[in-house]
Structures are given as structure tokens and as C-alpha cells.
């Protein structure tokens, strides 16, 4: 089905623009993705793409034409540049965006025999959260868990920062006070970072079932979560940098786990 929309006052446009707010995303179970790459990733992952909206002056991007045969989105819409800008909230409107249904993620990936899971505790910066999800995907982690206090996974900035990785692995929003004790009961090792740690991230054995825990940019792990960790590690630094941000720290640990598990 193809439609054309030119007015920012159109009811459909109002519904799409409302998805820039979390309460409307939660209520509708839908979110917005922007750009050709993310839309291709959504199609290829079999996500529920409800509508693709493209700039009527530019037309359908050639990269997306193969998805117009009925196996892709339920609907395609041509829209004015003003509509594109209103629904994406970016300084420069993208040539295309889509409305996608939120994913139902399988939690069984959390408790595999050799599970490698990234857990975020109060990580509020969308760029950091999205980058960590992307690094977890690249390093072959089984899942990412977002605890309470984290940025919304479907925040447009978070979605953009994942570069499509949110479609590649389970990302689960959970209450850590309940999930972490269950993980320990099922044989998972909970590992955090600490300047007082006895092990470096290179001496720890990441081949065992491990959950990597990362806290907020300002305060680190919350006291309640820190009290549950089985082990802490430190990332050694030879230079004069005071610290690494949480996304960089996560990437270092994830790639050391990848090295130990696959490139010994």
C-alpha cells in the first residue's frame, strides 16, 4: 500500500512524531528507525516494519527497492520534507525512516552453558548504551541486559548508535535485583570493574559463563548491584588518562573475552 502525505498536521504524522517520546513508544509498542542502513537491518532481521516513509522529492532509495515486493513493510508512504523533519527530530532530516514494532527477546540466551552477557546498571547516555550494544554484537556476546535507570533502548539516539546491532542479539530490560541472583543460582559469574581489583581484565578467565556488569558514567555500579558481584577486574592503564568511559571499558573487556574464547 502506497500513500502520500504532505501536511505536518496529518493524523498519521502526529502519531509518528509522538514516537519520539518514550511514553508513546511504550504505549504503542513501536519506535522509529532512521536511514537506509537501519531499515535494511530491520528487514533482514525479520522485524515488524509497519511503514516506511520516504522523502517524496528524493523517492525510494534504490537500496530499499528490493523490499517493496510485499515481503517487507506493510505500507510505504511518500512524505514532504517538513513531515520527515517533524517525525525524526534531527537537524537534517534523513531521506527515509520507518516505524517498527518493539522486539520480543528470548531470555534463554542469558543462561547458556558458556554465556557471555553484558549488563548495564544505570547507563543513561544513549551514545554509550548504543555503542556498548554494538560492541557486544561485534564480540559475539549472547545478550545485553538493561537494568532500571538505563536510557530507553528505543530512544532515537540509542537506536542510531547501535548501527543495527539491536536487531542482531537479544536486548532485555530487567530488574537486576531479581535477575542477578537468578543468574548466580544458574552458574553465571558476575564480574564488575574496580580500581581496587586484584585481577586485571587480562588475567581473568573469561571462558567461564560470565556476565559483565557496567555502571553509570558518573557513579559506576550501584551499591546493591556491586554487593552481588563475584569478581572485580581492573583495566590497566600505562598512560596518564584518568579513566575510560563506560563504552570504551566495555569494548576492552568484550574483546579480551573474544580473544580468550576464540584466539588463544
Residue 123 and residue 196 share a domain: yes
Which CA distances in Å does 30 have to 12, 26, 76, 154?
Answer: 14, 7, 16, 9
Residue 126: give the domain boundaries. 107-262
Q: Which of 121, 134, 143, 162 is nearest to 35 (CA)?
A: 162
Provide the domain count of the chain.
2
The one-digit pLDDT tens for each residue of the chain (264 residues) are: 688 999 999 999 999 999 999 999 999 999 999 999 999 999 999 999 999 999 999 999 999 999 887 666 689 999 999 999 999 977 788 999 999 999 888 888 899 889 999 999 999 999 999 999 999 999 999 999 999 899 999 999 999 999 999 999 999 999 999 999 999 999 999 999 987 888 899 999 999 999 999 998 888 899 999 999 999 999 999 998 888 899 999 999 999 999 999 997
Last residue of a domain, one of 81, 101, 121: 101
Last residue of a domain, one of 80, 101, 122: 101
Residue 211: all three cell numbers together: 556476565
Helices 126-138 and 246-262 sit at what angle, rounded to 10 degrees? 10
Please report the pLDDT score of residue 70 as a whole number.
65
Residue 141 and residue 116 share a domain: yes
**How buried is 260 (Cβ within 10 angstroms: 0-12 exposed, 13-18 middle, 19+ buried)?**
middle
Residue 117: all three cell numbers together: 552477557
Residue 215 and residue 172 share a domain: yes
Instruction: Report the side by side order of strands in the sheet with 199-200.
Output: 171-173, 143-146, 116-121, 210-215, 189-193, 231-234, 199-200
Residue 98: all three cell numbers together: 520507518
Q: CA-CA distance, 118 to 102, in Å (whole number)?
A: 20
Q: Where are the alpha helices (DSSP H) in the chain?
A: 11-18, 22-28, 36-44, 81-88, 126-138, 156-162, 176-185, 223-226, 246-262
Q: Which of 149, 148, 144, 113 is nearest to 131 (CA)?
A: 144
Residue 117 and residue 181 share a domain: yes
Q: CA-CA distance, 113 to 120, in Å (whole number)?
A: 21
Residue 140 and residue 63 share a domain: no
Residue 80: all three cell numbers together: 514532504
Residue 226 and residue 123 share a domain: yes
Q: Is the dihedral of CA 168, 173, 121, 152 positive or negative?
A: positive
Residue 137 and residue 174 share a domain: yes
Residue 37 and residue 12 share a domain: yes
Residue 170 and residue 69 share a domain: no
**How buried is 129 (Cβ within 10 angstroms: 0-12 exposed, 13-18 middle, 19+ buried)?**
buried
Which CA distances in Å does 94 have to 149, 166, 183?
Answer: 30, 20, 41
Last residue of a domain, one of 75, 101, 127: 101
Residue 144: all three cell numbers together: 545485553
Residue 132 and residue 41 share a domain: no
Please report the pLDDT score of residue 42 as a whole number.
95
Phi, psi at 219, each rounded to 5°: -115, -5
Q: What is the CATH number of the domain that holds 182?
A: 3.40.1280.10
Residue 243 and residue 200 share a domain: yes
Residue 163 and residue 231 share a domain: yes
Q: What is the CATH number of the domain that holds 95?
A: 3.30.1330.30
Amino acid at each position: 500500500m502506497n500513500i502520500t502525505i504532505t501536511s505536518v498536521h496529518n493524523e498519521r504524522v502526529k502519531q509518528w512524531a509522538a514516537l519520539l517520546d518514550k511514553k508513546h513508544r511504550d504505549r504503542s509498542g513501536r519506535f522509529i528507525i532512521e536511514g537506509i542502513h537501519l531499515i535494511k537491518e530491520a528487514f533482514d532481521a525479520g522485524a515488524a516494519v509497519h511503514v516506511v516513509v520516504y522523502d517524496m522529492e528524493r523517492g525510494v532509495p534504490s537500496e530499499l527497492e528490493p523490499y517493496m515486493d510485499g515481503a517487507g513493510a506493510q505500507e510505504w508512504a511518500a512524505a514532504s520534507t517538513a513531515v520527515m523533519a517533524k517525525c525524526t527530530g534531527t537537524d537534517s532530516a534523513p531521506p527515509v525512516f520507518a516505524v517498527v514494532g518493539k522486539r520480543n527477546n528470548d531470555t534463554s540466551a542469558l543462561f547458556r552453558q558458556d554465556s557471555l552477557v553484558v549488563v548495564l546498571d544505570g547507563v543513561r547516555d544513549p551514545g554509550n548504551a548504543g555503542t556498548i550494544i554494538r560492541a557486544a554484537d561485534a564480540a559475539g556476546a549472547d545478550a545485553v541486559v538493561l537494568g532500571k535507570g538505563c536510557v530507553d533502548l528505543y530512544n532515537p539516539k540509542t537506536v542510531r548508535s547501535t548501527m543495527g546491532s539491536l536487531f542482531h542479539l537479544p536486548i532485555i530490560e530487567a530488574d537486576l535485583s531479581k535477575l542477578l541472583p537468578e543468574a548466580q543460582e544458574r552458574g553465571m559469574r558476575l564480574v564488575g570493574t574496580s580500581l581496587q581489583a586484584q585481577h586485571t581484565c587480562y588475567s581473568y578467565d573469561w571462558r567461564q559463563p560470565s556476565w559483565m556488569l557496567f555502571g553509570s558514567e558518573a557513579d559506576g555500579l550501584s551499591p546493591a548491584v556491586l554487593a552481588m558481584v563475584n569478581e572485580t577486574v581492573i583495566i590497566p592503564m600505562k598512560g596518564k588518562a584518568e579513566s575510560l568511559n563506560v563504552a570504551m571499558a566495555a569494548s576492552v573487556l568484550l574483546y579480551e573475552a573474544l580473544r580468550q574464547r576464540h584466539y588463544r
